[in-house]
Amino acid sequence: MIKFRRILFPVFAGMLAVSRGWAFPAPEILPLDAVEPGMKGVWHTVVSGSAIETFDLEIIGTMPNGLGPGRTSILARALDSENKLSGPVAGMSGSPVYIDGKLIGAYSYGYIWPKEQAIIGITPIEQMLEIIDRYPLAPPERDFGSARVRWAGADERTGRPTAPAEPRRLSGAAEPGDAWMRQLPTPLALSGFSPEVVAAFRDDWTEAGFDLLQGGTGGVSGGAPEDFPLVPGAPVAAVLMHGDFSAASTGTITWADGDRILGFGHSFQQWGGVEVPMAGAEIVTIIRNMQLSFKLSKLGPIVGSIFQDRLTGVAGKVGPVPEMVPFRIHAVGEGGDERVYNAGMLGHRQVLPQLVAMAAFQSATRVLDSGDEQTIRLSGRIDVEGLDPITFDDVASGTGAIFGLAVALRSELRRLMENPREDARVMGIDLELEKVDSLAVNRLREVRLLQESVSARQGGFELAVMLERFRGDLRSERVRVPLPDDAAPGDRFVVLVADSTRADTASGYRSAMAETPADIAAQWRKRRPSDAAYVLLLRPSEGIQVGGQRIESLPPSVAAQLLSDTTYYPRESVRERVVWEGVLPTTGPFTGHFRLPLTVQP
């Protein structure tokens, strides 16, 4: 049996401690063209704690175009029994590989199923160093998290997507007999979230290209930076969320030079120029799995940023720590149980909406003890740079109430951050969760006109609206609906009694035409609370909605021209406009709708 060798890196051996980082000299490089089959080498990584261990390997050869056109990879065979048993290990990506003390690249690929051979793929260090040479290790010029989104399969009229994109396959997922060499995944380890909550959102993470690992990170520890040295072979983490909830992906450092590091040996998410908090880590253990083994890690303090996420690796720098989006959620249970959770999260459009929704769902299921018969209120404030605060208030009842509220919040955040016009930088999120009652669903039972006809002389009319609460009493309301001052005999109107969603749609507050952050935020602020029935008087009106603006009461000839198939720009036709609105508050969410057409009589 071949034994592994352990190398310890004490703080004052092989490096110089500096403020919030370390000065580690760049290693000598063995170029790709000098690597030959049969050469014996080693790779360094951590399998437990912070001790960097050494494992033996033998070079098999090189694979031209193995990492893509013009990207050669190096093939090697692991010689120790430990790695033959575990096979490729998620989190080992970036482990530096040396021949005669010279760095040749990063252990970053592997064949998942044929474990007894332990064949590994190595990204040449020259290809990783291109990241340092070509791209700046500094914050991007604009907020990378709000990059413009390109839609495939867009509707020709509105420009919005007509079908969801196909989900990406997991980088580490493989079926038995799979003959492809795959990059070792850097799973997103989630802590503070229960398995049930993770499972509820797993498909969405998969579609975004993330592999998930439930648990294992814990919060960012209170240890000193020197307890987690960022040296070749040591773990390094990209931190997406920290605090009472945490999310981070851990790989391994390949190369270091002063305060700069290279790691992973492949992309994290291939975000390009980024600003992701970077932390050292401690490995708790390796979990051996038949499909894919992985490292469990505990994070150290954040000490810098990952500024580049490219095809052949990530590049980071010890120094200023990126600002995270402060997140707070205050949850109050029916029995008086009250908790406040705080976290900081990355302001990326793929990450922030998902983590916010998961944290809201988790807080409700654990603090509010939510069940099938429940009514949950979710309110909050979203601060966006350059805009007035977005405040909202919503309520849901019944099975899946909190999940529905969480998903709706995620949808609104995504719409804001994925807008195709401008960056939308979220500066803070503050949520309030409250369990207000048991099941309290309301529905529309009856709408009745209380007179034979609608007369212009009377200036209006009355309705009887009957609401029914689940397992409760019927409630009848009389509503006086005024006619507009210019209403004349023969004019047509529609009375719409509806829930908040349909009332918002009739008013244009749910139009997909809003594209700028300002317009989307304005629509969000106008959304009606769901714990009311709304009585709207609608009048026919030819018009269009362009962006966040409705242009109503257009002359028919103008409307026809603007809506013609010979003219293209994203727009929606407007057939009605709201001329009056009444509100009937309910003790819980209301659903239902009814349209009553009317013609004004003399």
Give the residue, 562 or 299, on which the prediction is more confident.
Answer: 299
Q: What pLDDT, on the 0 to 100 scale, is given for residue 22?
A: 53
The mean per-residue pLDDT over the stretch 428-439 comes to 88
Tens-digit pLDDT profile for residues 99-143: 999 999 999 987 765 556 678 899 999 999 999 999 998 887 654
Count of beta carbons in the 10 Å neighbourhood of residue 3 = 11
Question: How far is 222 from 97, CA to CA, in rounded Å?
Answer: 31
Nearest to 18 by CA among 307, 375, 291, 303: 303
CATH level 2 (architecture), domain 5-154+181-318: Beta Barrel (2.40)
**What does the domain layout of the chain look like in residue ranges?**
5-154+181-318, 325-437, 442-601
Give dist(CA 412, CA 517) in Å, integer: 11
- The answer to whether 315 and 307 have CB atoms below 8 angstroms apart is yes
464/475 Cα distance (integer angstroms): 10
- CATH classification of 325-437 is 3.30.70, yes or no? no
Tokens linked to 433: 């969760």
pLDDT value, residue 227: 78
The per-residue pLDDT for 371 is 59
- For the stretch 18-66, pLDDT in tens is 444 455 678 899 999 999 999 999 999 988 888 899 999 999 999 888 7
Whether 236 and 46 have beta carbons less than 8 Å apart is answered as: no
The CA distance from 594 to 269, in Å, is 48
Share of the chain above pLDDT 90, in %: 52
Q: Of 100-104, 148-152, 208-212, which one has max mean pLDDT?
A: 100-104
Query: What are the DSSP E strand ranges found in 227-312?
Result: 235-243, 246-257, 260-263, 272-287, 293-310
Largest CA distance in the chain: 102
